[in-house]
């Protein structure tokens, strides 16, 4: 009774009762056909998860428009300014100093316009790498001019944190000698942000 039946009889029994033999076993053990056997997931077998990472063209366009208007207003102010400026009731500028101050604000506004425009351009032309979590590393976009994918092994990450500055949300990955920032707003939905934070926490635990 303790010996296995012949293979032919086993196959007949499996076909008869709609069972499928598990090829990993040499015993007579059978598994139902409709059962999808999934062995326990080991750390090295964790599935790869991808999060689409794209800046919103609408948000970037509105930012470019806003700072473009600021640059135009400040530029006009510079060209017509004949008065000094008292800043916060503490710092006083002469007319020339006030004009220089307005010029600085104009330049910064134009820089923001360029950054927003360049981000939109590179998103459509070059694309933005996705955030990918594999079993041993996380890959995410880095760089200013052209975004490229950086692969950071979990073993090098000492911790992570979430922060928010003026509506911009960031996931910061800490290593022994550097910090890496991922823009969570680029995930497009709060649910995706929550899922990413959960998965990172799981894989670093």
More confident site: 117 or 89 = 117
pLDDT at 155: 94
pLDDT at 11: 53
pLDDT in tens, 19-31: 444 444 344 444 3
Cα separation, 134 vs 137, in Å, equals 5
Cα separation, 201 vs 205, in Å, equals 6
pLDDT in tens, 139-193: 999 887 678 899 999 999 999 999 998 888 999 999 999 999 998 988 988 899 9
pLDDT at 94: 85
| Structure tokens given for 36 | 């999808």
Backbone angles phi, psi at 196, to 5 degrees: -65, -45
| Structure tokens given for 122 | 């590179």
Residue whose tokens read 């990472």:
53
CA-nearest of 175, 179, 195, 178 to 187 is 195
Residue ranges covered by each domain of the chain: 1-36, 57-125, 133-204
């Amino acid at each position: 009774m303790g010996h296995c039946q012949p293979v032919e009889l086993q196959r007949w029994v499996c076909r008869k009762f709609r069972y499928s033999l598990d090829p990993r076993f040499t015993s007579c053990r059978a598994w139902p056909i409709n059962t999808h056997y999934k062995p326990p997931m080991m750390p090295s077998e964790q599935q790869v998860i991808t999060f689409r990472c794209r800046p919103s063209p609408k948000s970037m366009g509105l930012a470019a428009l806003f700072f473009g208007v600021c640059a135009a207003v400040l530029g006009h102010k510079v060209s017509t300014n004949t008065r000094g400026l008292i800043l916060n009731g503490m710092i006083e500028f002469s007319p020339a100093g006030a004009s220089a101050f307005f010029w600085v604000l104009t330049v910064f506004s134009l820089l923001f316009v360029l950054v927003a425009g360049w981000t939109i351009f590179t998103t459509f032309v070059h694309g933005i790498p996705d955030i990918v979590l594999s079993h041993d590393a996380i890959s995410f976009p880095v760089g200013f001019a052209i975004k490229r994918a950086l692969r950071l092994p979990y073993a090098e990450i000492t911790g992570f944190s979430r922060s928010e500055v003026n509506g911009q949300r960031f996931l910061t990955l800490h290593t022994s000698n550097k910090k890496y920032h991922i823009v969570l707003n680029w995930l497009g939905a709060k649910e995706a942000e929550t899922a990413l934070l959960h998965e990172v926490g799981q894989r670093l635990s």
